[in-house]
Structure 1
Amino acid sequence: MNGDRGPGQPWHLPPPRREPPPMLYRGPHGRPVQSPPRAVRWPATQPTPRAAEPRAYPATPPAPHPPAPRPPAARPHTPRPPGSRRRRSWPRRLSVLAALLTLLATASLVGAAAWLDTALQRTAAFAGYADRPTPGRGTTWLLVGSDSRADLNEEQQQHLSTGGDVGNGRTDTLLLIHLPGPGSDSPATVVSIPRDSYVPVPGYGHEKINAAYTLGGAPLLTRTVEQATGLRLDHYMEIGFGGFASLVDALGGVILCPDEPIDDPLAGLDLPAGCQRLSGAAALGYVRSRATPRADLDRMAHQRLFLSALLARVADPAVWLNPLRWYTVPHAAAHAVTLDDSSGVIDLATLGWALHGTTTTLTVPIGEFLRTNVGDAVVWNHAEAAQLFEALRRDTPPPSSADN
């Protein structure tokens, strides 16, 4: 064998192996290469190739999706102070509560007014007669304060210092109230008629004007006033002693400011000077007292001042914020007030609204004081009184000669 030698034999190298000349092959891309491609050795068991599944393509390419909106930039987190949300909700809750309370109060007042309209006492105050004055402009009321004690027991008469029973009673207060009509520039006018005015009473000759109520009640009184003044009355309102005091107490009293102290044991009155709140009994004594230098003239001025104070108290919101007043005031008014049979709560509201503003207050012009067969009486200044009543009938301002 080539490469084997015996002992002492020289080493002989095998002849060089002849390599076949390189052959050119073409590679995968058709390029000639010298070395043959490397044979791929396959495994003994080849897996069965899996047929490729056909890929479904849509008939039409899908529409490109719109770009996703960019999220807003995150605001820096500010820690909320504790209780801030609760504080912001309280004003809203309070406004809702206020609206509910206002609705409740309105409904209650409307209901009280409707009840009062049916509960008020009424009387046939106007009797038709042939020579009754023709209607004038505006609206004219006759407000009467009766001194009847018919609804008072002995204890109440003593508490109110009204004295004993005087039969059918007389008119302790007579106020002629004229409300201007639409378009008039004149204010509401309140005219005090002295209760001792010496006037003709139909069917009874000359009498004091307050005797007409005793002789024939409200119908004779209204007829006497109409014929003495020449004014046609549109409404009539009457209030008695007991009802007067009850109404003032139901309102919580009224504030009056007498310039001078008044001490009148007959009226149960002992008032210092200055502003003060008067109860029902004290207010009744104030409008009845004649223990002043001008006696009846001061008394009529006090009655007009009290009427203004009473209306101011009725219009005071503090009165109606107390729900107890929603019951006590209408019930006291129903017991105290008597209207003519054609008047109602709306007429009363109109009267109160008109007198709450600027008013002209005066007394029927007086000519002289006269002693008559019915006692000391007041005689009007007929010329000046006629001018005053004619101005009211025409709905014009009273003449300057009237006593303001």
Structure 2
Amino acid sequence: MIVLLLVVIPVGLLFYYDGKLHRVNALSGYPGRIGDTPGTNWLIVGTDSRQGLTEEQKKNLATGDADGARTDTIMMAHLPTSGKPMLISIPRDLYVPIPGMGSHKINAAFNNGGPQLLVQTVEEFTGVRIDHYAEIGFGGFDNLVDSVGGVQMCLDQPLHDPKAGLNLPAGCQRLDGAQALGLVRTRAFPNADLERVVNQRKFLAALMSKATSPGVLLNPFRLFPFVSGAVDAVTVDSGDHIWNLAWLAYKISGDPITTTAPADGDEFTDDGDSLIPGETTKSFFDYIARGRAVPADLLSGGTGAVS
């Protein structure tokens, strides 16, 4: 009987939390959609949605009051059949063809057509099939970080950005949820968004490392608040499950290859200053679409503010 309970209770909790996940039909089919490509590919989207935040929380987190949701972050997590996983930042200013809209900065796809149009845009531009989708807004992000007791980060420089509610000294320190949100939001750098995406990748890997550590997994006072926070904060595709998210967290919690998708320069377009993709961009994603390791000369770790 005891053994049965030890099996039934965890399985029951797994399905309970899975049923509470927010879902959206992000990976719907469309004419001419590419077939499967090697490995498993996630599209991870961070938005500036304030849904679920009280007025006091908006003030404390310095989020402002904008309605709706726009993409602050677009990442592809590529889990190859062999070799290291990759976390790839796709700059929101990358100027690409968007179905039905012409060429625009890639974040316009989400802003105008939501997850479905963004997934289609990424697939058609990269030639990489997206298998899973995850989206997180401002609401719940701070609680997610606080649920694991904060995340240790080492900053190469002090960061001060009133717009993001951020005031951090240089050096190693444990960031709480509000500080972490400020870190992944701030663009107060010479290269603005290109440096921000580096910080975002490093923080995501650090958060997943903390979440999958024994100190969280073996501590129900950390584990259950984290799982509860995740299902409240994250939206996934209609076909995704909590065990898919757990596998993603495990795979990127180690030492993934982190890089920004390359561009061949910048140019002023109808959308303003834009990053222009070229042969290096095409070559980069061709390697991923064929299931081959991306050469070192196409990888760009960037600097950012995080060691």
The unaligned stretches of length 5 or more in structure 1 are: 1-99
- Aligned residue number for residue 268 of structure 2: 371
Give the C-alpha shift of residue 324 in structure 1: 2.3
Taking the aligned partners of 1:107 and 1:289, their CA distance within structure 2 comes to: 44
Give the C-alpha shift of residue 152 in structure 1: 2.1
Q: Does 1:253 align with 2:150?
A: yes
Give the 3-state SS of the residue equivalent to 2:220 in structure 1. coil
Q: Does 1:156 align with 2:49?
A: no
Give the C-alpha shift of residue 111 in structure 1: 4.2
> Which structure has more helix as a fraction of its residues?
2
The alignment yields a C-alpha RMSD, in angstroms, of: 2.0
Q: How many residues are paired up?
A: 299
More displaced 10-residue stretch of structure 1: 296-305 or 152-161: 152-161
Scaled by the length of structure 1, the TM-score of the pair is: 0.70
Give the C-alpha shift of residue 325 in structure 1: 2.5
* One-letter identity of the residue aligned with 1:394: R
Taking the aligned partners of 2:267 and 2:161, their CA distance within structure 1 comes to: 26
- Aligned residue number for residue 179 of structure 1: 79
Give the 3-state SS of the residue equivalent to 1:277 in structure 2. strand
Q: Specify which of 186, 204, 209 is matched with residue 312 of structure 1.
A: 209
* 8 Å CA contact 1:112, 1:326 repeated in 2: no
CA distance change for structure 1 residues 326 and 131 in 2, over 3 Å: closer, same or farther?
same
Q: Does 1:115 align with 2:11?
A: no
Q: Does 1:143 align with 2:73?
A: no
* 8 Å CA contact 2:205, 2:254 repeated in 1: no
* 8 Å CA contact 2:44, 2:77 repeated in 1: yes
Taking the aligned partners of 1:106 and 1:342, their CA distance within structure 2 comes to: 25
* One-letter identity of the residue aligned with 1:174: I
CA deviation string 1:17-49 (max 9, x = no partner): xxxxxxxxxxxxxxxxxxxxxxxxxxxxxxxxx
Give the C-alpha shift of residue 107 in structure 1: 6.9
- Aligned residue number for residue 401 of structure 1: 297
Q: Which has the larger radius of gyration?
A: 1
- Aligned residue number for residue 184 of structure 2: 287
**Aligned ranges for residues 4-403 of structure 1 at < 5 Å?**
110-165=11-66, 167-181=67-81, 184=82, 186-380=83-277, 382-402=278-298, 403=300
CA deviation string 1:233-273 (max 9, x = no partner): 00000011112112111121111111111111111111111
Taking the aligned partners of 1:377 and 1:360, their CA distance within structure 2 comes to: 25
* 8 Å CA contact 2:264, 2:281 repeated in 1: no
* One-letter identity of the residue aligned with 1:169: A
CA distance change for structure 1 residues 154 and 375 in 2, over 3 Å: closer, same or farther?
farther
Give the 3-state SS of the residue equivalent to 2:140 in structure 1. helix
Taking the aligned partners of 2:57 and 2:202, their CA distance within structure 1 comes to: 25
* One-letter identity of the residue aligned with 1:138: G
Taking the aligned partners of 2:7 and 2:221, their CA distance within structure 1 comes to: 14
Give the C-alpha shift of residue 199 in structure 1: 1.2
* One-letter identity of the residue aligned with 1:114: F
Give the C-alpha shift of residue 105 in structure 1: 8.5
Taking the aligned partners of 1:127 and 1:104, their CA distance within structure 2 comes to: 39
The unaligned stretches of length 5 or more in structure 2 are: 302-307
- Aligned residue number for residue 305 of structure 2: none
* 8 Å CA contact 1:141, 1:176 repeated in 2: yes
* 8 Å CA contact 1:174, 1:194 repeated in 2: yes
Taking the aligned partners of 1:266 and 1:305, their CA distance within structure 2 comes to: 21
Taking the aligned partners of 1:208 and 1:246, their CA distance within structure 2 comes to: 31
